[in-house]
């Protein structure tokens, strides 16, 4: 059956609102659109001869709650025998009467912005013979005369049109690689199994039937009866859902943070007191300096010379001892070990020995008498 455009020449179908899935202007989500939209305010005429099936209540007289239910605004349905055409969003309620005959092109109403609408436009649908919402067809196939063969309808029975529609949907998903011939075989069954999440064996077994029923939301009894086939046909008409994409739930691994362990207390006592190494100061030997007397008359020349040598030796010992004492005292004041502590006892011993030698050795070896 070929239909005429219910809108005047010069108007076209909105490219963003064709038949099929589209972005809902109210929610921004992708939803199935069961008709086509033509924007603008214009006279709407019947697409073909028929009988008025429904004239919706005047939208302006509805309560807010009733308006939310009647999303099509001012609505008209016309039965053409085999199909029903639907006209939504009239500017005003149509003057047509249910049961009256209507001719092709006869005025229905002015397109408007009533119901779930964002601007003046006509929403036009083609439904099956029962006229029920959801049992829709692509209007463009009827408007351009390409519906020369029977199309898919919700009958509850498998037929070649149901298989063709299923093959087409599976091919759109990239699952079916064969011909769209309406004759199911291993390729069709494999594609169905992948779509339904079943083991792809290429055979229509009970496991596949149950998997398909679970996808359709019907009882999974492996019997494809009226309920299963009707639901499949309905989804094929409205747009079959694609592959199930499993949501990847991130696995949260708990991070076990060890409880802080208090370190064992370190008992820090007072720093050990290191007693200073007291090195006895090097006391220079006290060597009395005796100026040599003049030679006594009874003193020999040899004895006089030795006496003078003794005086000079004592002077040298006193001088060396004084220098060593000065060096030791300077090291104590500056903290510099000019003379190492372990060497100082030996130094003391050396000075004492030298003094003893100078004091006693020489006199004991020399006699005042020749």
pLDDT tens-digit readout, 182-225: 888 899 999 999 999 999 999 999 999 999 999 999 999 999 99
**pTM, full prediction:** 0.46
Alpha carbons within 13 angstroms on the beta-carbon side of residue 350 total: 10
- The DSSP bridge partners found for residue 110 are 43
DSSP per residue, 95-155: ---TT-EE-TT-EEEEBB--SS-SSSEEEEEEE-TT--TT-EE-HHHHHTT---S------
Summarize pLDDT for 148-185 with one digit per residue, the tens: 445 677 888 888 788 888 998 898 889 999 988 788 88
The pLDDT of residue 288:
52
> Which has the higher per-residue pLDDT, 326 or 224?
224
Task: Please give the CATH superfamily to which domain 20-143 belongs.
Answer: Glucose Permease (Domain IIA) (2.70.70.10)
- 234-238-239-245 Cα dihedral, nearest 10 degrees: -80
Domain residues of the chain, as ranges?
20-143, 160-238, 301-365
d(CA 194, CA 201): 10
Over residues 70-84, the pLDDT tens digits come to 999 999 999 998 899
**What is the C-alpha to C-alpha distance for residues 184 and 20, in angstroms, rounded to an integer?**
25
Q: For residue 231, give both structure tokens.
A: 């639901």
Structure tokens at 52: 């008025």
User: pLDDT of 348-367, one tens digit each?
Assistant: 777 677 666 666 544 544 44
Residue with tokens 């029920």: 132
């Amino acid at each position: 059956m070929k239909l005429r455009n219910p809108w005047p020449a010069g108007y076209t179908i909105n490219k963003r609102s064709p038949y099929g899935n589209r972005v809902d202007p109210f929610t921004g989500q992708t939803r199935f659109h069961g008709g086509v939209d033509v924007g603008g305010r214009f006279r709407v005429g019947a697409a073909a001869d028929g009988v008025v099936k429904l004239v919706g209540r005047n939208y302006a007289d509805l309560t807010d709650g009733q308006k939310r239910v009647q999303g099509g605004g001012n609505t008209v349905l016309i039965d053409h025998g085999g199909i029903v055409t639907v006209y939504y969003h009239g500017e005003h309620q149509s003057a047509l009467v249910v049961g009256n005959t209507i001719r092709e092109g006869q005025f229905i109403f002015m397109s408007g912005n009533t119901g779930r609408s964002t601007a003046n436009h006509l929403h036009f649908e083609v439904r099956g013979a029962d006229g029920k919402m959801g049992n829709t067809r692509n209007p463009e196939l009827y408007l351009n005369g390409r519906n020369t063969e029977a199309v898919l309808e919700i009958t509850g029975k498998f037929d070649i049109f149901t298989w063709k529609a299923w093959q087409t949907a599976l091919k759109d998903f990239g699952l079916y690689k064969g011909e769209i011939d309406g004759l199911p075989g291993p390729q069709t069954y494999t594609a169905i199994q992948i779509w339904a999440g079943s083991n792809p064996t290429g055979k229509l077994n009970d496991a596949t039937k149950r998997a398909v029923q679970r996808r359709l939301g019907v009882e999974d009894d492996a019997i494809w009866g009226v309920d299963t086939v009707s639901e499949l046909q309905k989804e094929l008409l409205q747009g079959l859902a694609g592959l199930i994409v499993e949501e990847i739930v991130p696995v949260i691994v708990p991070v076990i943070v060890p409880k802080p362990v208090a370190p064992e207390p370190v008992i820090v006592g007072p720093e050990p007191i290191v007693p200073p190494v007291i090195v006895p100061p090097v006391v220079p030997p006290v060597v009395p300096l005796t100026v040599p007397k003049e030679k006594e008359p009874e003193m020999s020349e040899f004895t006089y010379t030795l006496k003078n040598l003794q005086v000079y030796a004592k002077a040298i010992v006193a001088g060396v001892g004084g220098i060593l004492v000065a060096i030791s005292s300077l090291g104590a004041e500056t903290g510099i070990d000019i003379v190492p502590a372990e060497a100082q006892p030996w130094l003391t011993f050396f000075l004492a020995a030298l003094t003893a030698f100078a004091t006693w050795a020489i006199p004991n070896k020399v006699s005042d008498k020749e």
